[in-house]
Structure 1
C-alpha cells in the first residue's frame, strides 16, 4: 500500500526534480497529482515512464491526499499550504515561509529526523535553504563527536539556486560575450554573472548581512544546535548546478583531521573524496545528479587551537531542495504514516 502524493510547482526546476527523485528512489506512490499555476495548466511533465498533465493548483482539492511536496515560492505557499494542511494533507514546503516558525519542524533527515514528529502542530514540514542543507549534513556527525563552537563559511552558489531565470541569464550572457551585438544586461542578478562572481544573494539586512547569509545562521541553529555561532558570506558564481562551500569549524575540543575524515566517511549522506593530489577533490560539475554531499580538503586550521577546514559540494537542486524534500517524505512514511 502506497501514498497519494501531490507535487505543487511541478513545471519548475525543483518540481521536475522532485518527480525524478520520487521515481528514482521508488517512493511508494499509489496515485500522483501534478499541480501548476493557471498559466502552466496542461503542461506535460514526466514521472518515471508516465507523462502527466498539470492540474490547477487554485482549484485542487487536497482532501484524501497524504503528502504534498510544495515548490511554488513563499507567496503561493502562504495561500495554498494552510488549505492543504487543513484538508488533512501533510505539506513538505521548499520555500522559506515556514522555516523559522517554532511550530513547524525544519528537517534534514540525516541530521534531525526525530524533529519530524512536530509536524502535527500545523501539518506542515519545512525544507531548509539549499546552502544550509549540505552544510549541516557535514557538521552534525562532527558536532556529535565534539561540540562545535563557531563556523565561518563562504559559499560559491550556482545560478540554478535562483531558478530557471538565473540559469537562463548565465547562458544568455555567456553567449553574448562572444557576440557583442547581442548584449544581455543583468536582469535577474544585480551584476553580470557570466565570467564574474557576485557577493550578494537575496536582500541586504540592516547590519550588512544578506538574507541568504542570515538563513544559514538561523537554520543551522534550529537544525543542529542553537549554541553554534555561524558567520557566512554567500556568493553567486557562474556555475549552472552545484553549490560549494569553504567551511572553517572551531570545536570545543581538539579533533584530528584523520579522525574527522573517518567520521565523515561513516556519516549518512556524505561521501569523502580527499586526496592530496591534482584532482583529488570534488568540483561542482562532478556532483550534478548525485545524492551525496561531497567533502574534500579536510585539514587542520593551525591558526586556532581546535580548528578544521573543509570543502563541501552538493547538487543544489537535489540535496539542496528536491532530494531533501523526498527524504522528508520517506522519513514521514517510516515514522508516522507507515503505509509504504
Structure 2
C-alpha cells in the first residue's frame, strides 16, 4: 500500500523535477495529482512513462490525500498550504514561507531526520534554501566530530535558482554578446549576468547583507546547531544549473584534513572527489542530474588553530529543492506514516 501524493506547481522547473525524482526513486505512489494555477490548467507533465494533465489548484480538494509537495511561491503557499494541511494532507513546502516558523520543522534528511516528528503541530514541513541544503550536508558529520564554531561561506549560485526567467536571461544575453544589434538588458537580475558575476541574491536588509545570506545563517542554526556562527556572501554566476560553495570552517577541536576527508567519505549524501591534480575536483557541470553533494579541495586552514577549507557543489534543482523534498517524504513515510 502506497501514498496518495499531490505535486503543487507541477509545471515549474522544481515541480517537474519532483515528478522525475518520485519516479526515479520508486516512491510508493498509489495515486498522483498534479496541480497548477488556472492559467496552466490542462498542461501536460510527465511522470515516468505516464503523461498527466494538471488540475486547478484553486478548486482542488486535498481531503483524503496523504502528502502534498509544494513547489510554488510564498504567496500561493500562504493561501493553499493551510488548506491542504487542515484537510489532513501533510505539506512539504519548498518556499521560504515556513522555514523560520518554530512550529514547522526544517528538514535535511541526512542531517536532522529526527526533527520530522514536529510536523504534527501544523501538518507542514519546510524544505530549506538551496544553498543551505548542500552546505549542511557537508557540515553535520564534521560538526559531530569536532564541533563547529564559525563558518565563512561564499556561494557561486546558478541562474536556475532564479527560475526559468534566470536561465532564459543568461541564454539570451550570451547570444546577444555576439550580436551587438540584439541588446538584452537585465530583467530578472539587477545587472548583466552573461560573462559576469553579481554579488546580490534576494533583497538587501538593513544590516547590509542580502536575504539569501541571512537565510543561510538562520537555516544553518535551525538545522544543525544554534551556536554555530555563520557569515555568507552569496553571488549569482553565469552557470545554468549547479550551486558551488567555498566553505571555511573553524572548529572547537582540531580536525586533521585526512580525518575530515575520511568522515565525509562515509557521510550520507556526500561524494568526495578530492585529488590534488588537474581536474581532481568537481565543478557544477559535472553535478547536474546527480543526487550527491560533492566535496573537493579539502585542506587545512593554516591561518587559524582548528580550520578546514573545502569546496562544495550540488545540483540546486535536485538536492537544493526537489530531491530534498522527496527525501523528506521518504523520511515521513519511514518514520511516521509507515504505509509504503
TM-score, normalised with respect to structure 2? 1.00
C-alpha distance after superposition, 1:111-152 (max 9, x if no partner): 000000000000000000000000000000000001000000
Number of the residue aligned with 1:3: 3
* Inter-partner Cα distance in structure 1 for 2:52 and 2:235: 37
Matches within 5 A, 1:141-290: 141-290=141-290
1:92 is aligned to 92
Deviation at 1:180, TM superposition (A): 1.1
What do residues 19-56 of structure 1 show as CA deviations (whole Å, max 9, x unaligned)? 00000000000000000001111000000000000000
The within-5 A match list for 1:28-67 is: 28-67=28-67
- Residue 161 of structure 1: CA displacement? 0.2
Runs of 4+ in 1 over 3 A off after TM superposition: none
Give the aligned length. 340
Q: Which residue number in structure 2 is paired with residue 103 of structure 1?
A: 103
Q: After superposition, give the CA deviation of every residue in 1:277-317 in whole Å (9 maximum; x if it has no partner).
A: 00000000000000000000000000000000000000000
Q: Describe the SS at the equivalent of 1:291.
A: coil
Cα RMSD over matched residues?
0.3
2:303 equivalent to 1:303? yes
2:321 maps to what in 1?
Answer: 321
After superposition, where does 1:125-136 map in structure 2 within 5 Å?
A: 125-136=125-136
CA–CA distance in structure 2, aligned partners of residues 100 and 55 of structure 1:
30
Ranges in structure 1 where 5+ consecutive residues have no aligned partner: none
Q: Distance in 2 between matches of 1:37 and 1:7?
A: 12
Q: Which residue of 2 aligns with 1:75?
A: 75
In 2: Cα distance, 1:286 partner to 1:259 partner: 26
For residue 181 of structure 1, report the CA deviation from its aligned partner.
1.1
Aligned-partner Cα distance in 2 for 1:184–1:318: 29
